[in-house]
Structure 1
Amino acid sequence: MLLSFLLSLSFTHVISSVPSTPSTASTPKRINFSPKRAQQGSIEHTVSFREALFTLSSPSSVLEQLHPTRYTIKDPKTAFKFDNMEYYWDWTYLDPSDALPVICSNPIEPSDPKLGKVFFVNGSSPFRPRELSWACPQSHGCCGYECCKEASLGESMIRLILILVGLAIACFFLLEFLRWCLGCCSRYRHVPSSPLHKRSSSSDSAR
């Protein structure tokens, strides 16, 4: 009896000392983030992007026109590809990655003559998308419908200093111009009358 008890304790100790292997199943990584609102971008790029987006005959088109005044999104999970970038109709369809961690979004106004006519189809109740979204590298910002290089703190400070120096130079020349104008006016007031002018004045008084 004692021998069996000791054997059971030894077996339990051996089992507990075996290291457990970690599970190989990994959960998908989700980074907490919020999309950046896009600033004003290149007009040429914006025009080209919108033209390509509404070219329904293109193989990469993600829209279809089933109604004369309405565009329907075929599949919201399918990206619209333009200029080596992928665009979605909501930032929730994007997954951030190490290469493209910055999520950009450009809101869609209902009054937009083109984008304001784009709809999701959910049964019999279509609804408008809120924004167009895309991903950018870490050191980039959001401009129009593209990624733009963000200026560093040093570049911003240099730019601010140059602007201030330019304003100071402009103010200096403006003050010098005003002083010159005032000097000219002062000299003109103290210029003595010419003899011809005096003679004509005296003849007029004699008459």
Structure 2
Amino acid sequence: MPEPTDVVEHDDRSREILGRGFDGAASFARMLAAEGELRGLIGPRELPRLWRRHVVNSAAVAPYLPASGSLVDVGSGAGLPGLVLALMRPDLQVHLLEPMQRRVAWLTEVSERLELENVVVHAVRAEDMQGEILADAATARAVAALDKLARWTLPLVRLGGVLLAMKGQRATEEVTKAGKTLRNFGVTSVEVHDIDLYDDGDVTRVVEVRR
């Protein structure tokens, strides 16, 4: 089965958003289009919007990443946003946490095929890494409500670090409900950013939680 090439949009805006990660992200998108549905990583309805809605969308958190250090991506799944961020930021050490073995196999294969030397794949749940890793930032996309996500991820983030959660329309509501949990972890600030990467009305909300 030949790899589809039409999933990648070679437009100036996509290149601007992804920066140095564009070529790698294009290869990743083609791999995901070719194998993602078969391997249970994406649904068939996601293929037409794979590039913008999933691959490039992963870059929404990039402006809030630390200047250096390490990143832990929780519930990496197909590699969104972790693999895309690793491609964009080869200077960051990126830890991908994923408990499902078939997804772990996929993440490992993609990392090897794209020669991502800054990626380490862990076949674990976030809770199992508490006390084992302390990163400068944590990311998560479509993993859990913020209250639960904070309890899983903030123990993995050093003081002064940041949790970047990609959310939908209920982001502000989730922040309110998670208030007590966030205070218990010594969170110093929470901001909700509305990100419209292509100025087309497709907004992703990035919740920036700083310890």
Q: What TM bracket, shorter-length normalisation?
A: under 0.3
TM superposition score normalised by structure 2 = 0.19
Q: Which has the higher helix share?
A: 2
Q: Which has the larger radius of gyration?
A: 1
